[in-house]
Structure 1
Amino acid sequence: MTTAPTELRTIGILGAGRVGTAVARQALKAGYEVKIATAKSASEISLIVEIITPGAIAVDAAEAASADLVVIAVPLHKYRTLDPELLAGLTAIDVMNYWAPIDGELDDFEGDPRTSSEIIQAYLPETRIVKSLNHIGYHDLEEDGREPGSPDRRALALASDDEEAKALVAGFIDRLGYDAVDAGPLSAGRAYQPGTEIFASAHNAEQMRALLEAAKQPAPS
């Protein structure tokens, strides 16, 4: 299995929707080289990538997967279009959400007690999945970033079963302008899925840690 790079230079984004392109623009602002891929060929999306994310490069999925860090930003119902072999050995941020009231019920997620990211991890067993960037609006992502130490700096949670992957993504989140707060294993991502207090509003690092800790407590009987 490929080891995670110690320093991020390139970000590969799978998906060119609102979330994927917002992450791309923020990553470009932070100084990363950004490659964007969709199900279409690079030549088919090159013009729209140039317009929507100036500075990013339209590529095929295989080239996006050669980046130091991959962001999975495809519509959740299309997750099976991802190639497990292509993403094997990589660290990838899962920014997708299962939100039935908005997107409709999906059989793969509706009856499964696992979080959506745990299901994605099972589908991509050789990929180091990190759940993050799912609980901030795409507009907010580009507007709320602050320098380290800023009193109004917003926090973003991250969860993964791989400590090295979490450290890599934490550095990326910091460069984007946010305090990264470790929520724990991938299952802990339940605390900031749609419908939670974390998902619904912005929090600083201290508030985020308190909410994550509260989420670990058993529900009152």
Structure 2
Amino acid sequence: MEIGIIGSGNIGSILAGYLTKLGHRITIANSRGPQSLKEVAEKTGATPVTVEKASGAKDLVIIAIPNKAIVKLPINTLSASKAIVIDAGNYYPSRDGKIVDIECGSTDSEWVAKIIDHPVIKAFNNIVAPSLASKAMPAGSSNRIAISVAGNETEQKKVVMKLIDEIGFDAIDGGLLSESWRQQPGEPAYCQDLDKDTLEVALQNTDFKNRAVNLALADEQARPYL
């Protein structure tokens, strides 16, 4: 596949390495420009490009940037895209500022989909970067870490779940995009290195009434690192 990755931080760079090794054609971009990505390119094999270019990837676009930067993306390119778009980010108000739609009940990925005017699939957000980088295992391995995939487009979710399996993790269907809060900061499924069965339970062991409180606690805990 032709895959564009927007964001060269830990998650974006790690995924670039995996996907290049799988034989996909990977471009990667950040807000600082292609010239800042020489080291990432050498390490991962991805081709540094502009954000505009990565946004126009034919088959898949992965957005791995803070929510506060979403509004700076090339919206016209993304809205017109026929590619699957993955949102790998997480909303942290202390970093991103308070976003009214999210504070009023939308999931962060519903908000991203609204801003870029394109459906999104939520994935790669409920695993910490060190685990993503070092804990991939062949299919069938015991205690293989699972990643939840949420979205409204069933066929697109299947493509993303297959890709996750090829990278070295189990993938489970996390439901509709409106349910993706279950895999976000503060919830039991967030960044716990759970296997498939345990992650399924964790996604259901949630209460929407506690969502705002849980997010606030997670935001406070993460504040020193953001």
With structure 2 as the length reference, what TM-score do the two structures score?
0.83
Tell me, in whole angstroms, the C-alpha distance in 1 between the residues paired with 2:126 and 2:120: 16
Tell me, in whole angstroms, the C-alpha distance in 1 between the residues paired with 2:22 and 2:178: 29
Displacement of 1:105: 3.4
* Matches for 1:63-212 after TM superposition, within 5 Å: 63-64=53-54, 65-87=56-78, 88=80, 89-100=82-93, 103=95, 105-108=97-100, 111-125=103-117, 127-212=118-203
The code of the aligned residue for 1:112 comes to C
Aligned CA distance change for structure 1 residues 203 and 84 (closer, same or farther; 3 Å): same
Task: Name the count of aligned residue pairs.
Answer: 207
Q: Which has the higher contact order (CA 8 A, sep 6+)?
A: 1
Two-structure CA RMSD over aligned residues (Å): 2.1
Aligned CA distance change for structure 1 residues 22 and 161 (closer, same or farther; 3 Å): same
Which residue of structure 2 aligns with residue 26 of structure 1?
18
SS at the partner of 2:91?
Answer: coil
Contiguous gaps of at least 5 residues in structure 1: 1-8
Displacement of 1:216: 7.1
The code of the aligned residue for 1:120 comes to V
Tell me, in whole angstroms, the C-alpha distance in 1 between the residues paired with 2:103 and 2:133: 34
With structure 1 as the length reference, what TM-score do the two structures score?
0.84
Contact 1:11/1:70 (CA < 8 Å) preserved in 2?
yes
Tell me, in whole angstroms, the C-alpha distance in 1 between the residues paired with 2:181 and 2:37: 36
The code of the aligned residue for 1:55 comes to G
The code of the aligned residue for 1:84 comes to I
Aligned CA distance change for structure 1 residues 54 and 208 (closer, same or farther; 3 Å): closer
More helix by share: 2
Contiguous gaps of at least 5 residues in structure 2: 211-226
Displacement of 1:56: 0.9
